[in-house]
Amino acid sequence: MTKGYVARPYLGVSVFDPETAGRYGYQLNIDKGVYVFQLTLNGPCGKGRSAAWRHHSQA
């Protein structure tokens, strides 16, 4: 740790895995992966989504 802290990536999404979802009263019927329940529009993922949407709309 040369910086004195652990750098964590920020994607701008909030996710649930099945175990965490269960603690909040949700049942996810998935075997793998996570469920994205929130997207920050000004975050990296939201900006990428916007760029992809513009590209798709122009096709």
| Residues 26-38 pLDDT 10s | 888 888 888 888 8
pLDDT given for residue 54 in this prediction = 54
- Quick check: 23 pLDDT over 90? yes
CB 13 within 8 A of CB 43: yes
| pLDDT band (50, 70, 90) for residue 56 | very low
The CA distance from 39 to 52, in Å, is: 15
Nearest partner of 15 among 2, 34, 28, 30, judged by Cα = 34
Backbone angles phi, psi at 21, to 5 degrees: -60, -40
* Amino acid symbol at 30: I
Assessment of whether the complete model's pTM goes beyond 0.75: no
